[in-house]
Structure 1
């Protein structure tokens, strides 16, 4: 019975002393003020990693140092940096620079921006991330999907070819908005929002975007001047094949040759990982070879488009170019938020993947702050959206990088290029940039992951393929919305339709498990044991009430068909019920009334602390009888069997049938 002294409830009952096995008590948690409870909940939601623990019991000066080290990790590992680490980072930095330079130019064209912006975006942002980032392997720069998103979304508002200045200013503004949003998510510890982008969503979306990006490069491959701004496959293919009379065979041959070379280099690197440098150097090698070829053959006079003049010098300031005109502000904000979410999802996923391989941890919220400051600084220095690029990070990892100094080396290599080498890119053919993009995108289309999803979880595969089809056949935004919508619908289904299991006894043990999963588990005569596998909220309370009613009907029909002992006890195993709201409590009251009406007895097992607190405050514990709450299913079954034997004895003596008539 209730114990006022220690706040626990005994498993003994008013019909006599409980058996020894059922003598344990279910504790009622001590009372906690609402403000304290709310604070603990918010702390667990927003600060699960407890970032302030490093500051506990530290003197003020040490707290300042630790705070600076938290914001700028380079201050923590920098003093311990060694020459051996620098040798590794130097090689890695030069290697990823050879990949970042051609990719930067290519992805800027993908975003309908001047090619020089791709180099600018590979200089300032990596330096910022090197000081603030927590990943040792992430290589920062422009990314294909983010570039495509920015080009597509801004292109619906401003035509880049008709008003390039306004388009450029909106790109800087969208990057600034993306940085603000990223930093805000990190500062306010809202990184869990990105978790709503499931792996299936990311696989489908990224593969679809890679397909769209590859198809759009057909413009460069066949040398077309005019092309559709739409991204769906129907519009792209129509634009390609309605202009067959404008195809330039010289451009097509050159593009196919270099695409074959890039794919072959990627294949060799996959077959022999030690030869990763072949794939890493292939894009820059292609650019050099193609530029030399065009220069000596004057192919630019025969239909092969070239980049043209690139401005020499490092990043100019673009603070005054940020455009907050109300006419275009909505488009800039929308573009910034959408692109930042995709960039964050890709960048953090890449960083965590390589961190697991090297057995260290990165703070997702802190990464968001680093990405945010990086893009804010970039938007003020003629850069557009940057994130952690998978291909460059993989090369960085395989090259043996030790710290983020590899990003600094890469940035310095890009700076050297900007100061001295940009005139050399004048004759670089656009078709080779298209080949580089297609080659990179083929590595993003992850059909192996899609096949794995099909074998493991059909619903995840449906989410993946929906995202892919939406991106390829409609638009990037529609594909993303469809995928996120399906993912959220699945979460809601898990909450609204939780599992309820019938438990049975494993022979020769006191263990009770799901009867459908364990074929040797047997029903306990006269007792129906149900397990609720979810918190009980307003969204699932009606379903749980109806489901339990059906379980009781099915069990009574089963017992009647077998001629076994009639059902007398309903045992609810609530070990997995972490919380309950007022709708859930009302549902339990209704179940109690239903069970009473049928002449049965409701028994509860192991409600959690939060559940016990609310059941106590709502007086439900008094309704069910505090003596009918047990610590384990085994104790509940022992007590029920004890009462069944007592009832049988009573029935034999006076003919009564149900225990509650005793």
Structure 2
């Protein structure tokens, strides 16, 4: 007697064929509009559609009418807190990008205002980031020496920021945000860790008080530059740097152990700047080799539309830098925004975020700002400070505006070594060795991608590391399609359940029937592989 489950098979109905144009339309809709963003406009009068459209493209119009005094108090505290972090970080990261420190302050004024109007995240705090700053310095520094031709270098940095914004906004408008998803978690962990390592090593210039330093970003060049100038090391600068670095790391450790003391970590960079400036002023440490920022010009952002170097012979380098830094900034900003949105159980639209990032960088490039995104450290402080809406960015921008108008002369005696300590302390948090260990335990291939990205950045360059990581990720994806995982299935006795025969030894083979579970679509790339492997 045969198996009762297979004596009367159910008929399979072949779905009707769709017209070619309808198939193309459905394919485009599933690829570019999986969330059906226009469903809210259906069956609405024209006036309501206009209001919904404005709220969709300018999210502040959606949450501002519901804004309460309680929200304002929470956003005020959060905004002031992140402003205390934004000022020293802005100055530090501008120096990392080989740009004048004042441009770092400018970059924490205009872009946050634009994002507050267009962004969909309640928690993201906008500002400059170390990795993008390093990319700008390493890529544009190969074309123009920032020390010899500072004006042209600044123009190229602003132009690169403009093209980064155009690229980001175009991805959002065309709903091509899925391209950023090709930067896998393993890629980002390795890339960020490698970039953080290089940034930390480069800050030895400030810690040791060196005047001349290599423009290379690889480990060999940096170490050669450090140890070939041992006779120029300044012990005063080194002692000061180690003390401030210990203080910053200690405050971060305390804040991680006791989350209620998050404000200690947030205020630590500003406290370091204040204490360092006072020490230099009182002891005249500037005369003993401790380098200081010097004069910072007062006033709000000057317009820089005329500074965009569209006719420069280095235009290709600016476009290339803009696209690469734009992708990296998008990957970091969108990932950070989604991560913190999960904690509060709300959704952010990745494509709207890309438009917001793009518009704030376009506006920023016209107002003397360089590339900005949503850094993890600043967003974490904003989240822990209890922000309720993107209004905290407006408060931060207002605080930075006050600094630009009245307080910039106070930073004259800020020692460079303190800025280096702030950068190193921030970068140590990006070397996520625990995530790398987790990748090794879960998936060895992802671990190889992570390590390859790290090695490429540390021993090659930031661009090489990114290319290596993305290439390996794409090859792995193609390999998983061309050689998919397959499982032979068998029937669990006395049931209609089929399971892998490797995992369930009691599963019975069906005579004359081969049942496979294939972890990929079957098409030309893997059809021959499946035929050769299972043909009897």
Shift, 1:459, TM fit: 0.6
Shift, 1:534, TM fit: 2.0
Q: Choose the corresponding residue for 2:12, options 26, 31, 45.
A: 26
Instruction: Look up the match of 2:122.
Output: 136
Residue by residue, what CA displacement relative to the aligned partner does 1:109-164 show, whole Å, maximum 9, x if unpaired? Answer: 00000000000000000000000000000000100000000011000000000000
Distance in 2, Cα, partners of 1:159 & 1:401: 41
Residue by residue, what CA displacement relative to the aligned partner does 1:160-203 show, whole Å, maximum 9, x if unpaired? Answer: 00000000000000000000000000000100000000000000
Moved over 6 A (4+): 18-21
Q: Choose the corresponding residue for 2:238, options 222, 245, 252.
A: 252
Q: Choose the corresponding residue for 1:517, options 495, 499, 503.
A: 503
Instruction: Look up the match of 1:8.
Output: none
Say which is worse superposed, 515-524 or 407-416, in terms of deviation.
Answer: 515-524
Residue by residue, what CA displacement relative to the aligned partner does 1:592-643 show, whole Å, maximum 9, x if unpaired? Answer: xxxxxxxxxxxxxxxxxxxxxxxxxxxxxxxxxxxxxxxxxxxxxxxxxxxx
Say which is worse superposed, 503-512 or 120-129, in terms of deviation.
Answer: 503-512
Q: Choose the corresponding residue for 2:161, options 153, 175, 179.
A: 175
Instruction: Look up the match of 2:486.
Output: 500
Instruction: Look up the match of 2:389.
Output: 403
Instruction: Look up the match of 2:281.
Output: 295
Instruction: Look up the match of 2:93.
Output: 107
Distance in 2, Cα, partners of 1:456 & 1:492: 20
Distance in 2, Cα, partners of 1:179 & 1:26: 51
Distance in 2, Cα, partners of 1:228 & 1:393: 32
Distance in 1, Cα, partners of 2:69 & 2:5: 71
Distance in 1, Cα, partners of 2:123 & 2:157: 28
Shift, 1:326, TM fit: 5.0
Shift, 1:214, TM fit: 0.5
Shift, 1:23, TM fit: 4.8
Shift, 1:20, TM fit: 8.8
Say which is worse superposed, 22-31 or 55-64, in terms of deviation.
Answer: 22-31
Gaps of 5+ in 1: 1-17, 553-662
Residue by residue, what CA displacement relative to the aligned partner does 1:341-365 show, whole Å, maximum 9, x if unpaired? Answer: 0000000000000000100000001
Q: Choose the corresponding residue for 2:47, options 35, 41, 61.
A: 61
The SS at the match of 1:501 is strand
Distance in 1, Cα, partners of 2:317 & 2:75: 40
The SS at the match of 1:176 is helix
Distance in 1, Cα, partners of 2:515 & 2:449: 35
Do the aligned partners of residues 528 and 82 (structure 1) sit closer, same or farther apart at CA in structure 2, a change above 3 Å counting?
same
Instruction: Look up the match of 1:418.
Output: 404
Gaps of 5+ in 2: none
Note if 1:461 corresponds to 2:478: no
Instruction: Look up the match of 1:127.
Output: 113
Distance in 2, Cα, partners of 1:440 & 1:408: 24
Do the aligned partners of residues 286 and 493 (structure 1) sit closer, same or farther apart at CA in structure 2, a change above 3 Å counting?
same
Residue by residue, what CA displacement relative to the aligned partner does 1:286-313 show, whole Å, maximum 9, x if unpaired? Answer: 0000000001111111100000000000
Shift, 1:31, TM fit: 2.6
Note if 1:336 corresponds to 2:336: no
Q: Choose the corresponding residue for 2:202, options 212, 216, 225.
A: 216
Greater relative CO (CA pairs within 8 A, separation 6+): 2
Instruction: Look up the match of 2:361.
Output: 375
Shift, 1:538, TM fit: 2.0
Distance in 2, Cα, partners of 1:22 & 1:130: 63
Do the aligned partners of residues 41 and 89 (structure 1) sit closer, same or farther apart at CA in structure 2, a change above 3 Å counting?
same
Shift, 1:22, TM fit: 2.8
Instruction: Look up the match of 1:188.
Output: 174
Distance in 1, Cα, partners of 2:8 & 2:246: 74
Aligned length: 533
Distance in 2, Cα, partners of 1:438 & 1:23: 67
Note if 1:231 corresponds to 2:217: yes
The SS at the match of 2:346 is coil
Residue by residue, what CA displacement relative to the aligned partner does 1:431-462 show, whole Å, maximum 9, x if unpaired? Answer: 00000000000011101101110111111011
Distance in 1, Cα, partners of 2:341 & 2:55: 19
Note if 1:52 corresponds to 2:51: no
Shift, 1:54, TM fit: 1.1
TM-score w.r.t. the length of structure 1 is 0.80
Instruction: Look up the match of 1:431.
Output: 417
Q: Choose the corresponding residue for 2:56, options 58, 64, 70.
A: 70
Distance in 2, Cα, partners of 1:65 & 1:340: 31
Instruction: Look up the match of 1:325.
Output: 311
Say which is worse superposed, 365-374 or 492-501, in terms of deviation.
Answer: 492-501
The SS at the match of 1:361 is coil
Say which is worse superposed, 25-34 or 211-220, in terms of deviation.
Answer: 25-34
Instruction: Look up the match of 2:139.
Output: 153
The SS at the match of 1:346 is helix
Instruction: Look up the match of 1:580.
Output: none
Distance in 2, Cα, partners of 1:99 & 1:124: 17
Instruction: Look up the match of 2:185.
Output: 199
Find the structure with the greater CA-based Rg.
1
Note if 1:449 corresponds to 2:440: no
Do the aligned partners of residues 266 and 532 (structure 1) sit closer, same or farther apart at CA in structure 2, a change above 3 Å counting?
closer
Shift, 1:529, TM fit: 2.5
Residue by residue, what CA displacement relative to the aligned partner does 1:559-593 show, whole Å, maximum 9, x if unpaired? Answer: xxxxxxxxxxxxxxxxxxxxxxxxxxxxxxxxxxx
Distance in 1, Cα, partners of 2:176 & 2:488: 38
Shift, 1:21, TM fit: 6.2
Distance in 1, Cα, partners of 2:302 & 2:172: 28
The SS at the match of 1:503 is strand
Distance in 1, Cα, partners of 2:341 & 2:207: 37
Q: Choose the corresponding residue for 2:460, options 474, 495, 518.
A: 474
Shift, 1:25, TM fit: 2.2
Shift, 1:522, TM fit: 2.1
Shift, 1:93, TM fit: 0.2
Q: How does 1:576-595 map to 2 (within 5 A)?
A: none
Note if 1:357 corresponds to 2:343: yes
Distance in 2, Cα, partners of 1:68 & 1:530: 51
Distance in 1, Cα, partners of 2:88 & 2:6: 76
Shift, 1:547, TM fit: 1.4
Shift, 1:327, TM fit: 1.4
